[in-house]
């Protein structure tokens, strides 16, 4: 993960851009990883840990209808989370994560390990999902790694 993080920080420094994150199932692990390297204050100003639906609505302006109709672990929710974080932080990029880390909480439609990711810029919002395997800690770690690769892929396109 270190090389991915170095690539991201190098590109953000080069562009003079900033990134923020809106996390649910990872509970701040992405923000911790983004600020692990010295100098991160140049490109990371704030992040949002919105574990509950109430926090998603209050901090990120996720619509109640979105949560009721699609759920917190959905493409629609991570898109709104990323957009809310982007607007509130005035960053150039926002990454969002919402998923089911387990060991409980899964369903046939959304089993444990289901994680959605959003990436917002001022021009567009992307969303992807992935099904991870393992225990709670493994799923959360894999989600952070995936989110960083998602951002790196966009920055180096």
Q: What is the CATH number of the domain that holds 72?
A: 3.90.950.20
Residue 2 confidence (pLDDT): 84
What does the alpha-carbon distance between residue 103 and residue 107 come to, in Å, rounded to a whole number? 11
Quick one: CA torsion of 131, 128, 8, 42, rounded to 10 degrees? Answer: -110
Residue with tokens 């704030």: 46
Residue with tokens 């993080």: 5
Number of compact structural domains in the chain: 1
pLDDT digits (tens, 9 = 90+) for 59-105: 999 999 999 999 999 999 999 999 999 999 999 999 999 999 999 99
What is the domain extent for residue 15? 2-155
Residue 1 confidence (pLDDT): 60
DSSP notation for 69-118: HT-SSSHHHHHHHHHHHHHHHT-SEEEEEEE--SSS---SSS-TTEEEEE
pLDDT digits (tens, 9 = 90+) for 89-147: 999 999 999 999 999 999 999 999 999 999 999 999 999 999 999 999 999 999 999 99
Residue 72 confidence (pLDDT): 98
Q: What are phi and psi of 37, to 5 degrees?
A: -90, 145
Rounded to two decimals, the pTM is 0.97
């Amino acid at each position: 993960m270190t090389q991915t993080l170095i690539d991201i920080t190098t590109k953000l420094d080069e562009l003079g851009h900033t990134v923020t994150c809106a996390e649910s199932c990872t509970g701040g692990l992405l923000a911790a990883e983004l600020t692990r390297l010295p100098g991160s204050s140049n490109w990371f100003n704030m992040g949002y840990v919105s574990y509950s639906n109430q926090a998603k609505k209050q901090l990120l302006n996720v619509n109640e209808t979105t949560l009721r109709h699609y759920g917190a672990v959905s493409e629609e929710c991570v898109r709104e989370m990323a957009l809310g974080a982007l607007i509130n932080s005035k960053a150039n990029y926002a990454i969002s994560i919402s998923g089911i880390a387990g060991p409980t909480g899964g369903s046939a439609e959304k089993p444990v390990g289901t994680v959605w990711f959003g990436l917002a810029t001022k021009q567009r919002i992307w969303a992807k999902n992935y099904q991870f395997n393992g225990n709670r800690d493994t799923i959360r770690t894999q989600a952070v790694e995936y989110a960083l690769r998602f951002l790196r892929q966009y920055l180096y396109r």
